[in-house]
Amino acid sequence: MKEILSSADNRFVVVQSEPAMAEQLEAVQRASFPTLAEHELTLAHHFRSHMKYFPEGQHAVVEGESGRVVASSSDLIVRLDLANIWHRFVDISGHMTLSTHDPTGDWLYGADIGVHPDYRGHGLSTLLYTVRQDLVRRLRLKGHTAGAMPKGYGSVQDEMPLERYLLEVIRGERSDPVLSVQLKRGYAIWGIIPEYLEDPSCANYGVLIIWRNPDKVRKGWL
Ligand SMILES: CC(C)(COP(=O)(O)OP(=O)(O)OC[C@H]1O[C@@H](n2cnc3c(N)ncnc32)[C@H](O)[C@@H]1OP(=O)(O)O)[C@@H](O)C(=O)NCCC(=O)NCCS
């Protein structure tokens, strides 16, 4: 296993995902996205496909003692037009295969991140966001982006528009189980994507988040 980063207590290690992990990756996915439409779930064969198209962009968190895969993230490179951000999850991800990976593109795109519920709150997504941002810098891309799921919005959608909800999350007046995590990791909200995917927890919305490569920002390239 190619170890990339360890947790401070050395209990967990981030590695590049391997085909033998595919079934465990699917189990983490099913536990992480219980309300996502079945046809939008990333299954074992999709994870194996990711490793063929862009092995460097696939990460798993393994618990050292048990050898168990407890979290993962999947990325691809895309050409992104920030003036025209509407897209659907299934299209940008090549129906979860990552066949849409474009090595000549300019942004790393997060197709997936999931931490098994039993292992949340231990900083594992923080490890994964760190290795993804390191990858952006190493590949000299413009930044990291994703269609984030505002998972707390579905339950309050009758009370307020998403714009109001996002404002409250940005101001720290409200916590969202996904966006609040990403804002803490330095991501900014760029725009709203209606009908991004099928999941009642986020009322089918995606929220485009971006993290700009500080090396490029410093040189005035962004
Ligand atoms: C979102 C998710 C990946 C976070 O993973 P995690 O490993 O529990 O997150 P971390 O432990 O690294 O926490 C990162 C920070 O966010 C905070 N945080 C974690 N969960 C939070 C929540 N539900 N609400 C608000 N803040 C939260 C942590 O306190 C931590 O803050 P700190 O840096 O100040 O200590 C995880 O909850 C998950 O897998 N959810 C289901 C799948 C999903 O929705 N993925 C995103 C799709 S866009």
pLDDT at residue number 218: 80
Residue whose CA is at the smallest distance from ligand 1 atom 21: 177
Tell whether the model's pLDDT for residue 220 goes beyond 80. Answer: no
Q: At a CB cut-off of 8 Å and minimum separation 6, what does 128 contact?
A: 14, 59, 61, 71, 72, 73, 113
pLDDT in tens, 90-113: 999 999 999 999 999 999 999 999
The residues spanned by each domain of the chain are: 3-218
Contact status, residue 122 vs residue 7, Cβ threshold 8 Å: yes
Q: Is the CB of 152 under 6 A from ligand 1?
A: no
The average confidence (pLDDT) of the chain is: 97
pLDDT at 221: 65
Cβ neighbours around 180 below 10 Å, total:
15
Verify whether ligand 1 is closer than 6 Å to residue 151 (CB atom). yes
34-71 pLDDT, tens digit each = 999 999 999 999 999 999 999 999 999 999 999 999 99
At residue 194's C-alpha, the angle toward residues 124 and 107, to 5°, is: 50
pLDDT tens-digit map of 102-159: 999 999 999 999 999 999 999 999 999 999 999 999 999 999 999 999 999 999 999 9
Q: Class assignment of domain 3-218?
A: alpha beta
- The model scores a pTM over 0.75: yes
| Rounded distance from Cα 179 to ligand 1 centre (Å) | 8
Residue 217: pLDDT band with limits 50, 70, 90? confident
Q: 76 with 109: CB under 8 angstroms? A: yes
